[in-house]
Amino acid sequence: MCGIAGVVDFQRGAPQARLLERMAARMAHRGPDDCGVWHGGDVALSHTRLAIVDPQHGAQPMHTGDGRLSVSFNGEIFNHRELRALLEKQGRPFRTHHCDTEVVLQAYAHWGEGCFERFNGQWAIALWDADRRRLLLSRDRFGICPLHYTQAGSAWVFASEAKALFCHPAVAPAVDVDAVCDILRFWTPLPGHTAFRNVSELEPGCCLAIEPQGVRHWRYWQLDYRPDYGRRDLDWSEELRALLSDAVRLRLQADVPLGLYLSGGLDSSVVGALADQLLSARGDAQRLSLFSVQFDEQDVDERHFQHGMAQRLGRQPHALACANAAIGQHLIQAVRHTERPLFRTAAVPLFLLSRRVRAHDHKVVLTGEGADEVFGGYDLFKEAKLRRFVARQPGSKRRPLLLRRLYPYLPHLQTQSPEYLHAYFQVDSDHLDDPFFSHRPRWRNNARLERFLSPEVRHSQRQRDPLAELAAWLPQRFSDWDYFERAQYLETTMLLPGYILSSQGDRVAMAHGVETRPVFLDHRLAALAARMPAEVKMRVLDEKHVLKQAAGDLVTPQVLRRPKQPYRAPESVCFRGPDGDLAEPLAELLRPASIRRHGLFDPDAVSRLLSKARTAPLRSFTDNAALVFILSTQALLQEFVPGSSSQ
């Protein structure tokens, strides 16, 4: 992957190269191998390159031979060889040997806007059509690659990262208080929004055309659920196995060494096993390296499962022993790249792991992200299923006890009474038809963090209804889906691009020039899973049942049988100094003067939280999430809008 940026201005003409060079320099970490700038009158494009495919012939911005089309492209088109063969049969001319960037140009020249529907890949594309005087922006179906944009007077400015937009003299960084509060509730801004005022993010599966007569936005791909109840489980698992193997095959394309993030869970283990099979068949098995992160805290460490799977693959993983102190020391750096507040520290070890990957001269890693969303692996899906089961007999004393099976890594839930569980999980038969049934408890619990906001911010939020905004954004067919499919849609289209892929994917990996390739986000796998009935994906409470049936033979018995555990990292303990107080420079972020300067949080509420943290490491999810959220938000403000008030 790379970094792209540009400006289009139909009234004053695009700025000259110096501004574009500054924008590219702000994203040099995304593309340390090369940098290019091109000026075309109304438009100027820049590109920082991470050379992975056809490194000798892929310099950008790239143009067609007749100069009619120009592109700055971040990402990979994994089926570019197949598309090139089709286009060559149609007489399209190619000058490179196997560069996917040139396939993007020729695909658009031949198929127009319909070309994006043919791509299998991950991308953020800026394509200039000189004949139509049109700048076309496009983002991949799941939002693996970021793409930000804003309007600055008569100009439109875009970039892979928001920090590059702020190089433009008419684009001043300012926090969007509404978006930050939405992150507090949903863990992500509402789709299309960012943590910065007037800075938008192109939604996954969408295009934006900027022309002299105006701006046009459309969706070229939409996740839809149409379950087929007439197939056997064996049919589903066989088709899944074949398609998954092909998805891995496509993502093994690279002219550089390949790595795998081996977490110790089912998803990355399956990807690693399939990659090993395919590379072994080519006599190239040793080309795949394994990278893992390990922790001192037993309840979040997964090294036992990592070692077992690594032995099965016959490789010694490059393990990063991530000390608690290192997480605290690098939080601010990680936030500089995520460009949004965090709830968990999990992004920081991945930031450090990508640095380790790059130190071993690797630029590409396969990952297991997306399997939980596509195949129903999260505990939230179990929770929704159990809540519905309990709600059907509201007077039962036994059914609420089943809720104790959820979240085994939260031990306080295991001892609670049926009445507490009933209230905590918001079990109510009146809410069974609520379109947000699956997510209400999570969002309600997150809303408890609002007590840390300043009185002024809390007052401003009472004037708006983010749930109504979210409901208006939902697709028309949302009401036709069952509760499980609705839950999957919300996770896949909101939390996945807005938190997982941004804060724990592209942004922390590309901070060190490492491209992540989430195999399970091949859109063909998502389309297949969308045709599966819910009980194929979750059999009783067995999450990702069909994936285990399709690929369980590829992993160790320990990995196959282990209870679902999300990737987590140590939290509040990472921020404590030798005296038990908050370590510098984090302590400076939470001093009352700093809190008041930005105006987002209540200094007294923050001080009470810090006093609690001094006594002992915070144990509750709410307290840990509050500390990480406040710290990361203050770090974001310090980095991008120092000295300014959010009010």
Q: Which domain holds residue 506?
A: 233-375+496-526+535-558
Examine the domain organization and report whether 577 and 469 are in the same domain: no
E strand map for 220-325: 258-261, 288-295, 318-322
Q: Residues 62-79: pLDDT tens digits?
A: 999 999 999 999 999 999
Q: Would 266 be classed as within a structural domain? A: yes
Closest CA to 269 of 558, 565, 525: 558
Strand 155-159 to 148-152 pairing: antiparallel
List, in sequence order, every beta strand (DSSP E) within 357-513.
364-367
Tens of pLDDT, residue by residue over 185-205, are 999 999 999 999 999 999 999
pLDDT at 643: 63
The model carries a pTM of 0.95
Per-residue pLDDT, 58: 79
Q: Are residues 291 and 342 in the same domain?
A: yes
Instruction: Please enumerate, as own/partner, the contacts of 275-281 that have beta carbons within 8 Å and a separation of 24 or more.
Output: 275/248, 275/366, 276/313, 277/245, 278/245, 278/248, 278/249, 278/252, 279/252
Q: Where residue 112 sits, what CATH number does that domain have?
A: 3.60.20.10
Task: Answer yes or no: do 478 and 504 share one domain.
Answer: no
| 171 and 45 in a common domain | yes
Could you read off the pLDDT of 23-54 as tens digits, one per residue?
Answer: 999 999 999 988 999 999 999 999 999 888 77
Q: Kindly state whether residue 352 falls inside one of the protein's structural domains.
A: yes
| Confidence band, pLDDT 50/70/90 cuts, at residue 514 | very high
Query: What are 547-561's pLDDT values in tens digits?
Result: 999 999 999 999 999
| Residue 234 banded pLDDT, cuts 50, 70, 90 | very high
Residues 414 and 369 both lie in one domain: no
Same domain for 387 and 339, yes or no, is no
Dihedral over Cα of 25, 29, 35, 39: its sign: negative
CB atoms within 10 A of CB 641: 18
Domain boundary among 219, 249, 273: 219
Does 267 share its domain with 314? yes
Task: State the pairing for strand pair 288-295/318-322.
Answer: parallel
**Does residue 531 or residue 576 have the better pLDDT?**
531
Mean pLDDT for the stretch of residues 94-105: 92
**Number of domain units in the chain:** 4
Burial class (CB in 10 A: 0-12, 13-18, 19+), 354: buried
Final residue in a domain of this structure, among 168, 197, 219 = 219
Cα–Cα distance, 586 to 617 (Å, whole number)? 16
| Residue 338, H or E segment | helix 324-338
C-alpha span between 355 and 21 (Å, rounded)? 25
State the pLDDT at residue 274.
Answer: 97
Same domain, 64 and 87: yes
The pLDDT-based confidence of 647 (bands split at 50, 70, 90) is very low
**pLDDT at res. 348:** 98
- 418/312 same-domain check: no
Query: Is 228 a domain residue?
Result: no
How far apart CA 251 and CA 248 sit, in angstroms, is 5
Mean pLDDT of the 382-411 span: 81
Q: Is residue 320 part of a domain?
A: yes
Structure-block tokens of residue 147: 């793409």
Look at residue 411 and tell me whether its pLDDT is greater than 70.
Answer: no
Is 463 domain-assigned?
Answer: yes
What rounded mean pLDDT belongs to the chain? 93
**Higher-confidence position of 582 and 635:** 635
> Domain for residue 565, yes or no?
no
Residues 78 and 63 in one domain: yes
Determine, yes or no, domain membership for 258: yes
Q: Does residue 112 come out as left (phi exceeding 0), alpha (psi in the -120 to 50 range) or beta?
A: left
- Determine the Cα–Cα distance for residues 389 and 392; give it in Å rounded to an integer: 6
Q: What CA–CA distance (Å, rounded) separates 524 from 299?
A: 35
Question: Same domain, yes or no, for 549 and 478?
Answer: no
157-168 per-position pLDDT tens digit:
999 999 999 999
Same domain for 178 and 204? yes
Is residue 44, in this structure, part of any structural domain at all? yes
DSSP per residue, 521-558: G-HHHHHHHHTS-HHHHSBTTBTTHHHHHHHGGGS-HH
